[in-house]
Every structure is written in C-alpha cells, then in structure tokens.
Amino acid sequence: MDSLAAYAAHPEKSKGRIHKSDEDSYRNQYQRDRDRVIHSSAFRRLEYKTQVFVNHEGDMFRTRLTHSIEVSQIGRTIARALNVNEDLTEAICLAHDLGHTPFGHAGQDALNACMKEFGGFEHNLQSIRIVDCLEERYASFSGLNLTFETREGIIKHCSRNNALNLGELGERFINGEKPGIEAQIANIADEIAYNNHDIDDGLRAELLDIETLRNCNLFNIYYEKVKTKWNNLTDDRLRHEIIRRMINCVVSDLIKNSEEMINQVKPIDVEQVRKCGKSLITMSDSMATMHKALKKYLRLNLYQHGRVMSMSNKAKEIVRFLFDSYMEDKNLLTKELQFAINQTGDVKNGNEVARIVADYIAGMTDRFAISEAERIKRNL
C-alpha cells in the first residue's frame, strides 16, 4: 500500500468500523468490506432487480447486479490510473445500489410517496440501513459493519435533516464537504456506466434508434469513426463497438482532467480532499457537456418512452398495493416481521411499522413483488 498516493484512502488509517473487529491476516480493511458486500443477501438479490426494464421482460437486459459489476470495473480502472485505493473503490461501487427497491426508480418513487408521512424513502439511506443494521450475517452485531470510508461512499446525496441523524457520516452534508476520492470515483463511474449501458439496452429493445442517437455529439463521433473503419458491421457489432469506444473516451478524459484537478489542489491527505470544497474527479467541460446531452436524450427517449412508462406505472401500482395491504393487515407479513412489529412496544406507532414494511418491500426482487401482490389479491 506504500505505492498509493498520499491523498488516497490508506486502510491502516481508516476511521474504523462501528463495532471493533480483529485484523485479518490476508486482507486489508477495504478488501474485507468488498467481500462482505459480495457475500451479503442484499447483493445477491440485485440479480433480480431492475435497472430500466422489469426483470422478467428480457433476460438480456441489465439488472442492478450486472450494473454494479460494470460500475466496479469502470471505477477500478479510474482508481488504478489515479493511484488511489482500488479495493475501497470496488467496495463502494458494489455496495452503492444495495438499497434499491424492486422496479428501479419507479419503485423508489412509489415507496417514497407511500412513506411521505413516515420520513420518506431514499435508496442511498436504505443502502446504509442494510449495511448498518438489516443484514443478519454475524452473531455479535447486525449489518455488515463496514468501514467509515465505504459507508461514506455509499451515500451520494442526503438532505440536511437526514444528515443530522447520521452522526459523523452526515457531517459532510452539513458542512458542505466532499467525500474521499474513491467515493467520488464510484459516483461518476455509476453515471458513466448507466449512460452507456442504457443506450445498449435501449437499442437492443428497439426503444432507441441509431439515427436519433446521432444527434448526440459523443455518440455521433464514434458512430462515424466506426462506420468509416468498418462499413458492413452487423447491428450488434456496430452498437458494441461504438459504446466500447465511448466508454473509453469518457474514462480517459475523466482521468486526464482529474489528474489536472489534483495537481491544482495538491491535497496531502484524505482530509484535504474532503475539505477542499470541490470535486476532484471531474470530466473536462466539453466532455461534461456531451455527457449531459446523452443523459437528456435518454431521459426523453428511453426513460419516458411509452413502453417504459407503462412498465413503471404498473410497478408503482404494485408497490403502492403492497404497502397499503401490509399497513392495513399486519397478518399478511411474515411471522418474523410480525414479531418485529410487536417488539417495537407500540403496534400503533405508525413510523416504526411503516419503516419495517418499507424495509420488507425494498428488499423484494421484481418477481417476488409481482407474485406477492398476486397472492394477496387472490385471497381478498
């Protein structure tokens, strides 16, 4: 680890874990975090949770699991190039979506609306709930007991009110500080991955078409380069070649620009990264403009496409139905959850009950949520 940059996260200087833990003979702190995430139940469930398309709509479309793995690959490349902690970056990338509901953002929006009177629902905060208390894998504590640095990276954004309840983890949102470089890398690797991979899935599903995508400069640049070099490619090869080159271009730009930002600020440690007041992991202005144009295109042409909106509306109906059903009749819940509700000491405590219900729904896969709603309706 001596080869890491001074401003990288060094495992021996970690702020530690909530619960004290013995050192491992073969793995450093961040490698252990990564492994704990990979072995968690929440991570396995990501295989059956939506990225854009409802899981059963097609086995070739991306899920939260494949997305997280792709984010991790991009993040590790950036971290390695900038000489910062690749293990920590990987742990954050793999954990960043653990709190996502079934049915992607549609599910989150519906659950947040259901929870409006009970403190709301936000997937970043749910990820922290999972790694801090909901996972049940260890005899001596709840959660995964991850390091501060991994937990810091999981939370991309947070309201001031919620930050006040997070202790040291929430201080940066109150003080206007930034997270460490590895967390910044994971954040932007997420954006790079979903922009480019949603284009791939959108074209494969025939919701997007190459001709309209050519209105986006970044896509058109590589469309023309690929077509000039290979004029007779199949649609699949053309799509993959363009997207592969786009990812490489964006990542290369990001690394170069971030190196310049780091050289300007010259942070001597992680704390200076946090307190410098601006993100050090950024694209150049020209690349950021092209990347933003792609995001806008996807929002208008993919996420708001009629077929996707139809799936989203059905998903929202399922989440609302499940929430209302469980809140009205606790006997519909598992025996374990009924016991947990009774343990709150006051079954009439709406906030506690609603949070338990929200935790349950958020942990569902797409298919289980659909089958559970059908089960309840059959017994009405």
pLDDT, tens digit, for every residue of 137-179? 999 999 999 999 999 999 988 888 889 889 999 999 999 999 9
pLDDT, tens digit, for every residue of 171-225? 999 999 999 999 999 999 999 999 999 999 999 989 999 999 999 999 999 999 9
For residue 350, name the pLDDT band (cuts at 50, 70, 90). confident
pLDDT, tens digit, for every residue of 70-121? 999 999 999 999 999 999 999 999 999 999 999 988 999 999 999 999 999 9
Q: What is the DSSP letter of 9?
A: P
pLDDT, tens digit, for every residue of 228-262? 999 999 999 999 999 999 999 999 999 999 999 99
Instruction: Please state the rounded mean pLDDT for residues 22-47.
Output: 95
Residue 68, pLDDT > 70, answer: yes
Q: pLDDT above 90 covers what percent of the chain?
A: 82
- State the Cα–Cα distance between residues 78 and 248, nearest whole angstrom: 11
Residue 1, pLDDT > 90, answer: no
Contacts 24+ apart (CB under 8 A), 254-262: 254/78, 254/188, 254/192, 254/281, 254/282, 254/283, 254/287, 255/78, 255/81, 255/82, 256/284, 257/282, 257/283, 257/284, 257/287, 258/78, 258/82, 258/282, 259/82, 262/7, 262/82, 262/181
Match 């919701």 to its residue by tokens: 207
Cβ–Cβ < 8 Å for 261, 280: yes
Instruction: Please state the rounded mean pLDDT for residues 255-273.
Output: 97
Token duo for residue 276: 């410098």
Contacts 24+ apart (CB under 8 A), 37-42: 37/91, 37/94, 37/95, 37/98, 37/131, 37/144, 37/146, 38/94, 39/137, 40/98, 40/130, 40/131, 40/135, 40/137, 40/144, 41/135, 41/137, 42/98, 42/99, 42/130, 42/134, 42/135, 42/363
Instruction: Please state the rounded mean pLDDT for residues 121-138.
Output: 95
Residue 59, pLDDT > 80, answer: no
pLDDT, tens digit, for every residue of 277-324? 899 999 999 999 999 999 999 999 998 999 889 989 999 999 999 999
For residue 349, name the pLDDT band (cuts at 50, 70, 90). low
Q: Which of 284, 88, 41 is nearest to 182 (CA)?
A: 88
Contacts of 210 (CB under 8 A, 6+ apart): 203, 223, 238, 239
Cβ–Cβ < 8 Å for 28, 138: no
Q: Rounded to a whole number, what is the distance in angstroms from the first to the last CA of the chain?
A: 60
Cβ–Cβ < 8 Å for 279, 156: no
Domain 11-307 matching CATH 3.40.50.2300: the answer reads no
Mean pLDDT rounded to a whole number for the chain = 93
Domain range annotation of the chain: 11-307, 312-378
- State the Cα–Cα distance between residues 128 and 116, nearest whole angstrom: 19
pLDDT, tens digit, for every residue of 357-374? 999 999 999 999 999 999
Residue 348 is predicted with a pLDDT of 58
pTM: 0.94
Residue 60, pLDDT > 70, answer: no
Residue 38 is predicted with a pLDDT of 98
